[in-house]
Structure 1
Amino acid sequence: MIKVAIIGPESTGKTTLTKALAGQYNTVWVPEYARDYLNELDRPYVQSDLLEIAKGQIDSQKLKKKEARELLFCDTDLHVIKVWSEHKYGSCDPWILNQLKVQYYDLYIITDFDIPYEDDPLREHPEMRSYFFDIYRNLMKDNDKAFIVAQGDLKTRIKQAKKAIGALL
């Protein structure tokens, strides 16, 4: 099974690209667990919520993996939670850091911030998309992860992703 994680700054088309790729390959995709979790929370989130979100993301991925064909597309991974936790709270839960050491994806697709920002109540830093993009790209480089950067409109991003995925098939 080939696992692909789509990561990137806020409002850069991660979910749109993830859904589109799953459709292109007739397989399932793993939604971003944080979105449902935070929408159901009746208070502002705190750092311990990020651990629950990480666990929920992993559990969701395990469930969807059973349904997937030869490819599984994941709308985010624990790198995003790590980056967010370190940015907002100055640290990251050790459990999340340990999971990052053992999780494996065959490919990461980092979505560029070259598309218009769309406001959403869960988004916090529209002015920092470039900053977070650089962090994700450096994380992939520093940890020797296989990755591409998806840029342009959706059609162009799908074409870029399919080329990289084709090399794995």
Structure 2
Amino acid sequence: MLRVALTGPESTGKTTLSRQLAEYYHTTWAPEYAREYLEKHGSAYTIDDLERIARGQVEAEEKAAAGANRVFFCDTDLLVIKVWSEHAFGQCPEWVKHRIQQQHYDLVLLLGIDIPWEADPLREHPHHRQYFYTIYHTELSSQMSNFAEISGSPAQRLEQACFYVDALLAEKSRAVPPPDALSA
């Protein structure tokens, strides 16, 4: 099962693109658990809340994986929680940092900030998107993650994302020998 995470600053189209990709590939996606959590508990949060959100995100991903077809998409990842926590509290729960080291995504799509900001009661930093984008890019580069930068109009973003996912699926299918080769 291939895992693709969408990451990046707020209001960069992660949810929209996750849904589109899941629909295009006839598979599942894991919604951003933070939104569900904050809508239920209120927008004031603590570092303990961020750890609960991180655990909820992992559960959402596991649920999506269980029903997936070859690939599934994650509308955000624990890197978002790490960056969010370090910005808001100057630290990140150890469990989150440890889990990031354990977790593997076959591809991470880093969404650019070249689309307009959409106001939302749960969004906090409309004027810091470039700052956060740079942090995400640096983190992904230092982790030596397989990541691609996605930008442009919504249609261009979908086209770019599909290009990278198709390449990943093709690479995966080349790595698996045909069924009749196994019996030879």
Q: Give the TM-score, by structure 1 length.
A: 0.98
- CA shift, 1:88, in A, is 0.7
Judge conservation of contact 2:43–2:122 (CA < 8 Å) in 1: no
Secondary structure at 1:127 match in 2: coil
In structure 2, list runs of 5 or more residues that go unmatched.
170-184
Aligned mates of 1:43, 1:22 — CA distance in 2: 28
CA deviations over 1:70-108 (Å, ceiling 9, x no partner) = 011000010000000001100000000110110000000
Aligned mates of 2:24, 2:50 — CA distance in 1: 31
**Equivalent residue, structure 2, for 1:10:** 10
The more displaced of 37-46 and 77-86 is 37-46
| Superposed CA RMSD | 0.8
- CA shift, 1:114, in A, is 0.2
**Equivalent residue, structure 1, for 2:158:** 158
Aligned mates of 1:76, 1:143 — CA distance in 2: 17
Amino acid aligned to 2:10: E
Aligned mates of 1:142, 1:106 — CA distance in 2: 16
Amino acid aligned to 2:138: N
2:96 is aligned with 1:58: no
Q: Give the TM-score, by structure 2 length.
A: 0.90
**Equivalent residue, structure 2, for 1:138:** 138
Q: Which structure has the greater CA radius of gyration?
A: 2
- CA shift, 1:35, in A, is 0.1
- CA shift, 1:150, in A, is 0.7
- Change in Cα spacing, 1:83 to 1:115, as seen in structure 2 (3 Å) is same
Amino acid aligned to 1:119: A
Bigger relative contact order, structure 1 or 2 (CA pairs below 8 A, ≥6 apart): 1
In structure 1, list runs of 5 or more residues that go unmatched.
none
